């Protein structure tokens, strides 16, 4: 099924609140965790009209399991989140980028990726995509490399550096994104050296995206970036609003 980007997912999200959480409405037990996580991933991606196969769902379920295991030793995600919250806030939120990224020759630079959101999650679902991850915190870099090895993901480069210290001459990607890294204007200034006329900047935002866009007007103009499109969607379980903004260099 092809993604339908113009569709309002409010009704689907409302259904998800009652029908897409773990059986019994509680946490996931150890014995059934894998099956329940796969069900959450399957139901969530179907609600978002994303076509993931059995293999991709299984790989994301393994990713989830390793995320929990490593999070017991380091700060990868917020504490005391229910399984459906982790799946929605990190995995499904990341996968919302797929309709933008699933095209021939796509390559993605993910700045401040943390535990691999959104870049590494999208790589699982779109294995042909080349991926560059930038993350300065070494413990998180160790986790990223572990996931890459465990899931046998190819064409993934991981840089354990701050974005301002990176040698951009070796990095050219068709798309650049960063999740919860900075507001639009600050993010554009941060990634300025990597931008050229073929780069699409992808900003993942919440309900205050219009305010951020207004405040970023001068910096966008300084880098000759124009708003190419805005896609507003809702997460399928909580009905929380999301906006994906894309920017390109102006022809002039």
Domain with 110 in it: what CATH number?
3.40.50.150
Number of domains in the chain: 1
Residue 21 has pLDDT above 80, yes or no: no
Q: Are 16 and 236 in contact (CB under 8 A)?
A: yes
DSSP 241: E
What are the pLDDT digits (tens) for 69-102?
Answer: 999 999 899 888 999 999 999 999 999 999 999 9
DSSP state at residue 91:
I
List the domain range (segments joined by +) for residue 67.
10-249
Under the banding of pLDDT at 50, 70 and 90, the label for residue 52 is very high
Q: What is the pTM of this model?
A: 0.86
Does the residue 3 lie in any domain?
A: no
pLDDT tens for 133-168 read 999 999 999 999 999 999 999 999 999 998 888 877
In a domain, 4, yes or no: no
- Give the up-direction half-sphere exposure of residue 144: CA atoms within 13 A in the CB hemisphere: 29
Note whether residue 52 is domain-resident. yes
My answer on whether omega of the bond before 157 falls inside 30° of 0, hence cis, is no
Q: Looking at the domain assignment, is residue 2 inside a domain?
A: no
Query: CA-CA distance, 171 to 29, in Å (whole number)?
Result: 43
Give the pLDDT confidence score for residue 5 in this predicted structure: 36
217-240 pLDDT, tens per residue? Answer: 999 999 999 999 999 999 999 999
46 found inside a domain: yes
């Amino acid at each position: 099924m092809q993604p339908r980007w113009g569709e309002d997912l409010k009704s689907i999200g409302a259904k998800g609140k009652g029908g897409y959480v773990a059986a019994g409405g509680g946490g996931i037990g150890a014995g059934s965790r894998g099956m329940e996580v796969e069900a959450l991933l399957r139901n969530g991606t179907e609600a978002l009209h994303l076509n993931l196969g059995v293999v991709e769902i299984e790989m994301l379920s393994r990713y989830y399991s390793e995320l929990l295991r490593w999070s017991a030793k380091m700060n990868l995600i917020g504490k005391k989140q229910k399984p459906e919250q982790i799946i929605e806030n990190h995995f499904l939120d990341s996968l919302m980028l797929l309709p933008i990224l699933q095209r021939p020759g796509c390559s993605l630079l993910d700045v401040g990726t943390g535990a691999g959101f959104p870049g590494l999650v999208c790589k699982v679902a779109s294995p042909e995509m080349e991926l560059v991850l930038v993350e300065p915190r070494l413990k998180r870099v160790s986790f990223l490399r572990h996931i890459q090895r465990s899931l046998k993901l190819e064409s993934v480069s991981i840089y354990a550096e701050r974005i301002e210290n990176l040698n951009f001459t070796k990095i050219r990607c068709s798309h650049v994104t960063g999740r919860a890294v900075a507001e639009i204007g600050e993010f554009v200034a941060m990634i300025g050296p990597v931008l050229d006329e073929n780069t699409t900047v992808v900003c993942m935002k919440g309900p205050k995206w219009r305010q951020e866009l207004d405040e970023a007007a001068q910096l966008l103009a300084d880098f000759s970036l124009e708003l190419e499109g805005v896609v507003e969607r809702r997460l399928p379980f909580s009905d929380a609003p999301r906006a994906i903004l894309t920017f390109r260099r102006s022809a002039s």
